[in-house]
């Protein structure tokens, strides 16, 4: 009996450098990237630049948290990027085209995000379509809806209308504050992101429903036999994903002050990368909100530095792809 125990101990000692890299590699990567850009770029360590980084991270994190919930129940949501675009267009339309106040402007995109989540759950849970195919179909459908509605044009203040006039409304200050305002020098969108991260983490870690989400994803059949309403929690996960994607779209629209067609497309890849990077933070080995936040920070800092170095956007996609492959490979090696 002693020999297997000794061999097991030796094996753990041999893998300890990999374990250390798995648990702390993301944090080390963030520090290395910040140090490198701080040394090579004069304007990197400035308030304005860090403010821009935090604002961009806030949107990615909101989208990535929604993806994290879908991953927790062993699903996947490809429709988040198009949902961000839909929320951006709908909030801009409510303000500029229909002259609505802040309540309606926030309510409409959030309801649309929830509808998208319900549609995904209908296709996946009820009709039992593969999650990748179902959410891919939803993504194309949503893109078609927003392009049909806008005819491919963005929505902005004083935009010309087909009848020859101009749009009657405009982006109101209370809405723009969400993406552009600050509280005690901290961007409001960052405070919103941190609040959601904390609440989501506490919910998933310390509440019974949060643990049931994880149990549903770890072994669906065992969870069902234990009396857990598996399909209900899978539905909740996709609805939450749609809600957070819509919230990210609201923050995006309030930050740029326009409703841009397909503006959320890039957030799909960023959100997916952040969620998967989160698997390795502190060696969690599973989807988690804190890890997702650190994944967003890594991506946000990296893309900001590359942009300041005038690296083309298409080359930045290569970097994001490499990061995602590395995170997946590290997670796979740890499981083995």
The CATH number covering residue 220 comes to 1.10.3470
CA 231, 232, 237, 242 torsion-angle sign:
positive
- Please report whether residue 67 resides in a domain: yes
pLDDT of 181 = 94
- Please report whether residue 191 resides in a domain: yes
pLDDT of 280 = 76
The region that residue 122 occupies, defined by phi over 0 for left and psi between -120 and 50 for alpha, beta otherwise, is alpha
pLDDT of 283 = 62
Grouping H, G, I as helix, E, B as strand and the rest as coil, residue 259 is: strand
Distance of alpha carbon 76 from alpha carbon 268, whole angstroms: 11
pLDDT of 334 = 58
pTM tops 0.85, yes or no = yes
- Please report whether residue 329 resides in a domain: yes
- Please report whether residue 131 resides in a domain: yes
Distance of alpha carbon 178 from alpha carbon 102, whole angstroms: 11
Locate all alpha helices (DSSP H) within the chain, ordered by sequence.
Answer: 2-14, 16-40, 47-72, 80-96, 102-121, 131-150, 173-180, 188-206, 208-218, 220-225, 230-256, 265-277, 289-308, 313-335
> Rounded to a whole number, what is the largest CA-CA distance in the chain?
87
Backbone angles phi, psi at 187, to 5 degrees: -55, 135
- Please report whether residue 106 resides in a domain: yes
Neighbours of 156 (CB within 10 A): 16
pLDDT of 110 = 98
Domain extent, residue 186, equals 26-37+44-335
Distance of alpha carbon 2 from alpha carbon 26, whole angstroms: 36
- Please report whether residue 109 resides in a domain: yes
- Please report whether residue 305 resides in a domain: yes
What's the domain count of the chain? Answer: 1
pLDDT of 331 = 62
- Please report whether residue 6 resides in a domain: no
| Count of positions (residues) in the chain | 336
What is the DSSP track for 189-229?
Answer: HHHHHHHHHHHHHHHHHHSHHHHHHHHHHH-HHHHHHTT--
Low-confidence residues in the chain, pLDDT < 70: 1-18, 20-22, 282-284, 327, 330-336
- What tens digit of pLDDT does each residue of 249-289 get? 999 999 999 999 889 988 998 999 899 888 877 666 789 99
Nearest to 63 by CA among 265, 260, 233: 265
């Amino acid at each position: 009996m002693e020999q297997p125990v000794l061999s097991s101990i030796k094996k753990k000692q041999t893998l300890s450098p990999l374990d250390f890299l798995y648990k702390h590699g993301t944090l080390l990567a963030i520090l290395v990237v910040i140090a490198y850009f701080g040394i090579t770029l004069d304007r990197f360590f400035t308030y304005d630049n860090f403010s821009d980084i935090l604002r961009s991270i806030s949107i990615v994190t909101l989208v990535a948290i929604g993806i994290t919930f879908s991953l927790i129940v062993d699903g996947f949501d490809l429709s988040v990027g198009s949902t961000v675009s839909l929320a951006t267009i709908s909030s801009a339309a409510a303000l500029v085209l229909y002259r609505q106040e802040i309540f309606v402007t926030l309510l409409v995109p959030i309801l649309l995000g929830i509808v998208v989540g319900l549609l995904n759950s209908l296709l996946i849970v009820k009709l039992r379509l593969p999650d990748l195919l179902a959410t891919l179909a939803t993504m194309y459908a949503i893109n078609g809806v927003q392009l049909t509605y806008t005819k491919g044009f963005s929505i902005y203040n004083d935009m010309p209308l087909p009848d020859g006039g101009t749009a009657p409304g405009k982006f109101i200050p209370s809405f723009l504050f969400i993406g552009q305002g600050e509280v005690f020098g901290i961007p409001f969108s960052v405070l919103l992101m941190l609040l959601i991260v904390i609440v989501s983490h506490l919910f998933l870690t310390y509440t019974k429903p949060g643990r049931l989400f994880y149990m549903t994803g770890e072994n669906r059949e065992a969870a069902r036999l234990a009396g857990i309403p598996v399909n209900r929690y899978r539905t909740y996960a996709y609805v939450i994903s749609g809600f957070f994607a819509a919230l990210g779209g609201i923050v995006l629209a309030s930050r740029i002050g326009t409703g841009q067609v397909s503006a959320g497309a890039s957030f799909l890849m960023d959100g997916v990368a952040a969620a998967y990077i989160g698997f390795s933070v502190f060696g969690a080995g599973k989807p988690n909100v804190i890890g997702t936040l650190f994944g967003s920070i890594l991506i946000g800092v990296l893309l900001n530095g590359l942009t300041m170095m005038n690296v083309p956007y298409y080359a930045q996609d290569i970097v994001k792809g490499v990061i995602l492959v590395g995170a997946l490979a590290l997670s796979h090696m740890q499981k083995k």
